[in-house]
A and B are shown apart, each in its own frame.
Chain A
Amino acid sequence: MKNYSKPVLDGRRIWTTPEKEIYSSGHLACPGCGVAISARTALKVFGKKTILVVPACCFAVIDGPFPYSAAGVPLLHCAFESAAATASGVRAALDQMKINDINVVAWAGDGGTYDIGLQALSAAAERNENMIYVCYDNEAYMNTGIQRSSATPAGAWTTTTPAYPGKPERKKDLASIMIAHKIPYFATASISYMNDFIDKFRKAKDIKGFRFIHLLSPCAPGWKHAESDTIELGFLAVRSRIFPLFEVENNKWKITYNPHPTSINKYLDLQGRFKHVKGEDIKAIQTEVDKRWEELCEKCDLPSQINPPEQPVQHTRNQVLSKEQFQEVLSKHFINFSDNENELAYQMLKSLWLDKSYSHFSDEELICNIIARVQMCDCT
């Protein structure tokens, strides 16, 4: 069951976001900006006791020119390459004043993180500075008008990789770089998966030391996608495993959402920057994505399931879940059975788990089925 981490989504009460809004309207983000949503949500999690440090990046513009600021928390603009260092200084000063309850957050784009800011970032990570570094990665220098960065994926068009086949080199594997620093917490997050996003920010907030959160942040003008597709692209990036959601806490890797994979085609199709990418190029991208996924799964101690078989799927199950594991799964489904019902459900599980005629059910489907069966029995 460890392959599945998804609660039953019924589309009704989807996200549990904190109520208090901090971020102000009227900011200068482009319509449909992914960063604006991320910032708004992250600030809700961080709360008022937060200091933001922002290097040159889209967000430096989004927050507003003098005399305005949208952030609602103190925000320090700093030089492009110096977010991590400046934030270190803020933390040092707070430490010196014995103030412990303020979150110091560096909020930087991919240029300021992957490229020009990497040196200061690496140093701050090595010093295990007590800060949260959030890289919102829109995969190019968007603020200056879509120039290639080391975060730009292979094949993408930018104004500085205008000719076919787009950017020839692959995207820098920043995750591995950061994790190699043995920082207390590393996570990738997408605003599309808001619960996961909020969980990770909450977790990061509560950990001491250097925490790094990598956000994939769709950018309508830069990726050449419809403004309304921002969230959809997040979903597709995660499901196609282009941007897996995982975290590394104390050197333990964990995939936080293991999707049934969809092909990368739809993700690419929605974006004008990949318009020229066809046939063999797509295959090459898919190969790279699969390779990375395999590596990730290996680190997370998971079977990779690169190419799950087409219908009918045959699920082989070996060991019946223990009663405790089963309880855990039930609680994930918000199921609150009586003792009798629990007993019945577990008996059903034991009899169906290894039954070949149920092998076309995935573990989750089988359990849903059992839940439904128990629910229609009168167990009182």
Chain B
Amino acid sequence: MTEPITVPTPQQIIEPAISGRTETMVLNMGPHHPSTHGVLRLVLELDGEVVVNLAPDVGYLHTGIEKTMESKTYQKAVVLTDRMDYLAPLSNNLCYALAVEKLLEVEIPERAQIARVLLTELQRISSHLVWLGTHALDLAAMSVFLYAFREREQILDIFELVSGARMMTSYFRIGGLAYDLPADFLPTVEQFLAIMPSRIDEYEDLLTANPLWLERTVGVGVIDAQAAIALGLTGANLRATGVAYDVRKAMPYSGYETYSFEIPIGKNGDIYDRYRVRIAEMRQSVKIAQQAAERLRELGPGPVVTPNRKVAPPPKREITESMESLIHHFKLWTEGFKPPRGDAYVSIESPRGILGCYVVSDGSPKPWRVHFRAPSFINLQSLAHMAKGRLVADLVALIASLDPVLGEVDR
């Protein structure tokens, strides 16, 4: 490392300008700006068109999710996690559910595990499709957006089939799934997975060898592996620098160790490599989802919530017959379950990077503290490092390639 990595604050850029620095200009970008993907505000220090320094100013979507979760029971708090990274609600559900399940030490039935893997992989594809569409839109390729959203709607239809909601599904609950998969789930998924690879080819036809796309992305926004790790960059952004670190392989959860897939990596750590890595990831996700669908078909029907009655309610018909089940149901609905005292940290590979969840339990039915390691929030720190010395137009491509979701940045 030649010079130390710094992450400036907006004040550090604005104040010299107010006190009379005239060589460079300060430009405010956002929070209302079409290419900041939400309500991100950037304070740029410009020398002509060249970015000398920049500081992201976040918090315009601060929702107080962590505080609100402390006032809900464990199971009710699942709903709040959905709205964090709103492009991948199921990944958030999964991360939170895994953390609480780690505290509780409950066993999840096989069918629920496979469904979780299948649905999070579909979620990854749908999230990457939004990234692809908006990234291309920012670089003035309108048609990719329309193609990407066509496939995304198909995935949302699957989610709607499963849970009744298109986006905010809250489908993964602590102890398993909210309810069983519907009968026509597998045929719909298999139909989608059969066409998806050819659709990814379509996007690649539009972009991968497109000279305009190459000019805007190759060699732009470069970061090396060492700086990326120091700045906590994760996900496809880290893998584009050549570091093959994926939580699904490194510390497998939900049975990912039993699926065969590869971790696509890049070489140069530029925007084009991130694009290639994410496209390859979509193909890998299709592959994982296909394996999961096969397993679901082989496994046949079965339970989707844990048999532990202290965590998951008994089936409805049991309540009318058994007094004990009625009591369990009553306890769960009036009070909720009580994990033992302690804390647990779990991380998963969300579409944006390492999503971590730290839960502290004080033995009461409500979490004492829930903290999310939000990948978008931490990835944003590296923006200044990558954008220095580049043009403002490159910055637009750079923000899109980092794929931040502001709901997750601000929580």
| Physical interaction between A and B | no
Q: Which residues of B contact A (CB under 8 A)?
A: none
